[in-house]
Every structure is written in C-alpha cells, then in structure tokens.
Amino acid sequence: MTLPAAYGYYQINGGMMGELMKWLAGEDVVVDLSGPRPHENVSTIERGKTIYEKHCSICHGDNGDGKSIRSVDMQLKPRDLSAGVYKFRSTPTGSLPTDEDIYTTISRGIRGTGMLPWFGLSSEDKWAVTYFIKTFSERFEEEDPDSQIVVPELPAINADLVGRGKQLYEHAKCWECHGWQGKGDGPKVEELKDDRGLPVKVRGFASEPFKGGSGIQDIYIIISTGLDGTPMASYGDTIPDKDMIALSAYVNAIAMQGPLKDGGMMELLPITSDEHAGMMMTYPAMPVGLMRYGMMRLYSRSDNMKGEIK
Ligand code: HEC
Ligand code: HEC
C-alpha cells in the first residue's frame, strides 16, 4: 500500500493516522478521562473480554499471564496481567493501580515497547477492556487501590532548581543504574532483572523517550511510585516533595527533546524493533504505508539532545 492509500485506510478507520503520526513524532498522547464512562458490570466485562480476545491476547496470552506465541517477537515481554502487579500507577508502591491508571496506559501506550497506544479503540472499549483485565487477578476483588499520589504545584523551573536536582541525582545514586548523564549505562545495569527473572533494561532518559510521559509531573509520579515488578524502586518515602520536584526537573532537563517539527512536517522518531513488532499487530496496514515513510525520515537520536546542563 502506498502512503496515500494507507492514509485513506486510517482516515476511514476513525482518523487514527494523524494521532499515530503525532505519537511517532514524539508527542505524548493526551488522555481524556472526562468522557462517558460505562459502569463496571457483567455486560461491560463481557464486552471487554471480546476486545481482549481480539486485540490483546495475541501478546498478553489467553490467561493474561504474558505467555503467548508472539512474545518471542519482542525483547521486552508483555506484562503478566494475572499477577496484579502494575508498573504504571498513580498509587504508592505495592498498591493496585486505579482504573484510570490502566485506562491511561492503554490510551497512551508504552514507548519503546510492543505496547502501542490504542487509537483504534473508543473510550467505552478502553474502559470495558480495563474492567476485563482486572478479572485476571483476584487482588482486584480483595483490595482497593491506595490513595493517589498528588503532584504538588510546580515552582518556576530555573537553573538553581535543576542544579539542586543534579545533586540529588548523585546523592540518591540514580546514576548507579541510569548513568551519570542519564544514558542508561550505570555500573549496575548488567545485573538487573524483573520480578519474573527476565532481564530488564534501565531507561536512558538522554537517549530514548520516556515510557510513562515526559512532563515533570509524569517523572515525579514515576520516581514517587516506582515501577513495581522492576528494580526501579519507589522514592516516595525517602525523598521529600520539594526535592522530588528538583530531581524530576533535572531528569526532564537531561532528557531527550520532545516533538521535533520541520516546517510543518513531522520528523518521526526511529522506532525500536519491539515497537515495530507491536505496530504489525496493532496497526496492520501501517508497516507498508506510514512506516516506510517513517523510515525515510529517520534521524539519529544522538542529534536530538539538549546537551550540557547549565
Ligand atoms: C504487540 C504486543 C501487545 C499487544 C497487542 C498488547 N500489549 Fe499490552 N503490553 C505489551 C508489552 C510488551 C508490555 C510491557 C511494557 C513494559 O513492561 O514496559 C505491555 C504492558 C501492558 C500494560 C501495563 C501493565 C503495567 O505493568 O502497568 C497494560 C495495562 C496492557 N499492556 C494492556 C493491554 C491491553 C488492554 C491490550 C489490548 C487492547 C494490550 N495490552 C495489547 C505488549 C502488548
Ligand atoms: C537499581 C537500579 C535503579 C536505580 C538506582 C534507579 N533506577 Fe530508575 N529505573 C530503573 C529501571 C530498570 C527502569 C526501567 C524499568 C522499566 O522500563 O520497566 C527505571 C526507570 C526510571 C524512570 C522511568 C522512565 C520512563 O521511561 O518513563 C525514571 C523517571 C527513573 N527511573 C528515575 C530514577 C531516578 C530519579 C532515580 C534516583 C532517585 C532512579 N531512577 C534510580 C532502575 C533504577
């Protein structure tokens, strides 16, 4: 399929093309939680099951345990949804995620991995599948999520604050895993495993986009909650609010730049092999059309750094 043909296809299918283009160009997906939200009941769970079987089981497996034939296509394996341990939450470490957290992950995808944003699903579908995947773990019947972490209002972001964040980054030993410049090359990286014993890669903020959103608030949430099931611990209890903001501002400052635009044309981010695998399964017509276009516009991520910290 040529690009215009692919474009037509995605327009017809709910105009996802534009959304996907923006996402490929590095923009975070804006998640709207204010829309209509179906009740959680037998019929919505049943609807969620149908959606899961059609779109998700190919990777997460029939029982949600992350065991599927297609998982071999990906270096980072799909999550085991039956364990009830979620990486991406707004709740403290050890807690269940809220429904909104799960809905948000499904909506914005997880960059660098096979889990792409689901632009093709309506908000009702996304709520329904959220309700359904909770049935994989009994934890959701037995426990309620703890209260959400509230990000305090951000002060003015200036060189002093970022400088303070840099000291905290050293002091809290973030560099042991993330490296001094945030390239993901600290001394501890070789030995890291997740809770399934699978090797886990540290994020290099300076050279790859964030999984969980690139704003200072998004980073604050990750450092506070930790990514449960991985060596990325929660610092919510050890680092006070003010310091957490400074640290998040520092991580944001050394991070790769967000979307790049070139005279109205989007520059597309190079996609990883896991994203490529995910793309084939999530947006089947894309590889031939948009993706070829994307490939032609690749640029080196190393050209895209903000450079030295003031
Ligand atoms: C192409 C494979 C693929 C498909 C299809 C897929 N996922 Fe995923 N999913 C993944 C991978 C890989 C991860 C792990 C990412 C990580 O750990 O950083 C993941 C992670 C998740 C998470 C995050 C859990 C956490 O720890 O916070 C949720 C929720 C999720 N998927 C739900 C879904 C739903 C619902 C669908 C269907 C609409 C779906 N996935 C379809 C590959 C896939
Ligand atoms: C023991 C190793 C280790 C230490 C120490 C560590 N991290 Fe992490 N961090 C990780 C791993 C591994 C991941 C990625 C987990 C994943 O992708 O599932 C991660 C992910 C992150 C992310 C998420 C990036 C994204 O893609 O959204 C942020 C932000 C982060 N770490 C910040 C910090 C900060 C700040 C510190 C110090 C206070 C720190 N980390 C200390 C191992 C570590």
Is the Cβ–Cβ distance between 14 and 123 less than 8 Å?
no
> Which of 4-13, 99-108, 152-161, 229-238 bottoms out in mean pLDDT, i.e. has the lowest?
4-13
Give tens-digit pLDDT for 81-115: 999 999 999 999 999 999 999 999 999 999 999 99
CA distances 158 to 34, 155, 171, 210, 236, Å, are 33, 9, 20, 22, 23
Other C-beta atoms within 10 Å of 55: how many? 18
> Which of 22-26, 57-61, 88-92, 284-288 bottoms out in mean pLDDT, i.e. has the lowest?
284-288
> Which of 21-25, 109-113, 155-159, 244-248 bottoms out in mean pLDDT, i.e. has the lowest?
21-25
Nearest CA to ligand 2 atom 14: 202
Distance CA 126, CA 251 (A): 31
Ligand 1 atom nearest to 229, measured from its CA: 26
CA distances 191 to 12, 169, 196, 209, Å, are 47, 21, 14, 23
**Beta carbon of 58 within 6 Å of any ligand 1 atom:** yes
Q: Amino acid identity, residue 75?
A: Q
> What pLDDT, on a 0 to 100 scale, did the predictor assign at position 268?
57
Nearest by Cα to 101 from 72, 130, 77, 78: 130
Distance CA 305, CA 33 (A): 32
Mean pLDDT comparison of 17-21, 121-125, 278-282, 297-301, highest-scoring range? 121-125
pLDDT band at 296 (very low <50, low <70, confident <90, very high): very low
Nearest CA to ligand 1 atom 37: 56
Burial 162-181 (b: 16+ CB within 10 A, else e): bbbbbebbeeeebbebbbeb
CA distances 215 to 27, 109, 118, 221, Å, are 11, 16, 21, 10
What are the backbone dihedrals phi and psi of residue 94, each rounded to the nearest 5 degrees, phi first? 90, -15
**Beta carbon of 111 within 6 Å of any ligand 1 atom:** no
pLDDT band at 18 (very low <50, low <70, confident <90, very high): confident
Q: Amino acid identity, residue 207?
A: S
Instruction: Say whether pLDDT at 156 is over 60.
Output: yes
